[in-house]
Amino acid sequence: MDLTNKRIVVTGGAGFLGKRVVQKLKEKGVTDIFVPRSREFDLRNIEACTKVVNGADIIIHLAAKVGGIGLNRKKPGELFYDNLIMGIQLMEQARLAGVQKFVAIGTICAYPKFTPVPFKEENLWQGYPEETNAPYGLSKKMLLVQSKAYRKQYGFNSIFLLPVNLYGPGDNFDPESSHVIPALIKKCVDAIENDEDCITVWGDGSASREFLYVEDAAEAIVLATEKYNKSEPVNLGSGFEITIKNLVKLIAELTGFNGQIKWDTTKPNGQPRRLLDVSKAKEEFGFKARVDFKEGLKRTIEWYRQHGRK
């Protein structure tokens, strides 16, 4: 699909990932991009969805309410309802408006708690997600059900992408809602600044995670928008796994934090392991992550030191 002559709506286009997607689209020569802002277009309201899709050729739906384990434990109902209602209504209004393509962004939280590693797309329905983020994961997973049903009944062209946890400059460093990498960077950098010799980390460090640099994720989404036209889900990841214990050591080393690390084992680990099989994205639309993990962390730490504490 040639994107240059399309009107593309990017929900969440002013956010951490969305800004990068908009920039990648501009680099492709797209000039007609609309980024609806939540203060004007609350996508939980169907009237707002109707206005947003009007005249659009392509919808890239990135808008979501997200957070780490803490937020998922605190507001599971809100995360379930807000994400589900936004996605369902937006896709339905897009169908009714004759939108040519709908790009839905899912989450690795949709996978079962105990999924064979590496996670393959066909494993998605082989169990219930990890309990702490199941409401969020299932709310996004319903977009896959909708996507497949709409293609079957209406011939509606929608695709469903499953990114792992993202990180990079401009991430969310709010301790109430941040994911693990920005949370750890903040803990280490702030401890150094405040002359503290100890940080506390949730869990026991045994869980593993995979991370994708935000620029790579944006590249993958734009490639899929151009080249992928099936409702079967596609993983977006780096194919690299690291335990939380080793992640903490690496971030401490890169930030220069030499103090003690205390593990709060009264707090949950989350899903035991996360590592995606990323072969399908390469086969279907030629995506492969490019940014080295250590380099990506250095850029993120530098950004936080420059901008994140203001």
Return the amino acid letter for 170. Answer: G
CB 13 within 8 A of CB 21: yes
By DSSP bridging, strand 234-236 and strand 158-163 are parallel
CB 271 within 8 A of CB 136: no
Extended beta strands in the chain, E state: 7-11, 32-34, 58-61, 101-105, 158-163, 165-167, 198-202, 208-209, 211-213, 234-236, 242-243, 260-264
The two structure tokens encoding residue 194: 């405040």
Closest CA to 214 of 10, 65, 18, 25: 18
- Confirm whether 128 is a catalytic residue: no
Closest CA to 307 of 172, 147, 142: 172
- Positive or negative, the CA dihedral 133, 161, 88, 175 is positive
Per the residue annotation, which of 136, 150, 213, 304 is the catalytic one? 136
CB 90 within 8 A of CB 59: yes
Tell me: cis bond preceding 118? Omega within 30 of 0 counts: yes
SS3 26: helix
Closest CA to 297 of 235, 219, 221, 242: 242
CB 230 within 8 A of CB 148: no
| Catalytically active residues, by annotation | 136
